[in-house]
Structure 1
Amino acid sequence: MKQWTKMMAGLGLLMALPWAHGEEAPACIEVTVGGYKTPDYNCLSRQMGNDPEAATAAQRAQEAMHVPVNERAPNSIGLATPAATGVRMGNTFGTSVKPQRPPVPANTSPLPK
């Protein structure tokens, strides 16, 4: 009876051995074909997906997408800013209502009329 109990205890330990090491991802295999290395992208994606901080990073990114309108930058919601208007108007900003434009080029075509 003692021998049977020891054998069952040993069998129980052997069965628990694979779970004692924890969850380990299998190694990714890189194949070389014709001199070109091809990594296993599915395996690499699985390894990258096991990041415990990924959920909090995704939540922070989602929260950043939902910033209230009154806290957004004016140019991100389509409002004109003094800097953007100054670039659009050129050196006439604040002095004229017509934007600065380069002079119209003379129509000098190399082709005869």
Structure 2
Amino acid sequence: MKRISLLASLGLCVALPLLAHAETAATGCTEVTVDGYKAPDYGCLSQQMGSDSDAAKASRKNREAQNVPVQKRPPHQVGLATPAATGTRMGNTFGVSVKPQRP
């Protein structure tokens, strides 16, 4: 049983380089072809499309957008009651009674 699996893995190791070959494009990205289907390296292509300075600017803007001070956040994100939320909770008793229609 071990010989069959050993022979199968050996055969696979021999056949794999025949089925797949890699081409290095002029840009430096590696493109692999397996049985006629090409699979480009998307990570390399993404790096070539955007310069590092653009990526650094975008990551800095994303960090700044996520760090909004508490006083500039909308009331529903801070946990404060808004008129719309209070109106939904009070229902038809809004402005009439102190007991809410919905708890």
Q: State the TM-score, normalizing by the size of structure 1.
A: 0.50
Percent identity (aligned): 45
**Residue type of the partner of 1:59?**
R
**Residue type of the partner of 1:45?**
G
Q: 1:44 to 1:74 in 2, by over 3 A?
A: same
Give the structure 2 partner of residue 24 of structure 1: 27
Give the structure 1 partner of residue 44 of structure 2: 46
**Residue type of the partner of 1:54?**
A
Give the structure 2 partner of residue 86 of structure 1: 87
Matches of 1:38 and 1:88, distance apart in 2: 58
Where does the alignment leave 5 or more consecutive residues of structure 1 unmatched? 1-22, 102-113
Give the structure 2 partner of residue 6 of structure 1: none
- Is 1:62 matched up with 2:63? yes
Preserved contact between residue 25 and residue 47 of structure 1 (Cα < 8 Å): no
Q: 1:55 to 1:90 in 2, by over 3 A?
A: same
Where does the alignment leave 5 or more consecutive residues of structure 2 unmatched? 1-25
Give the structure 1 partner of residue 16 of structure 2: none
Larger helix percent: 2
**Residue type of the partner of 1:26?**
C
Matches of 2:38 and 2:100, distance apart in 1: 56
Q: 1:97 to 1:25 in 2, by over 3 A?
A: farther
Larger strand percent: 2
Q: 1:48 to 1:88 in 2, by over 3 A?
A: farther
Q: State the TM-score, normalizing by the size of structure 2.
A: 0.54
- Over alpha carbons, which structure has the higher Rg? 1
Give the aligned length.
74
Preserved contact between residue 31 and residue 38 of structure 2 (Cα < 8 Å): no
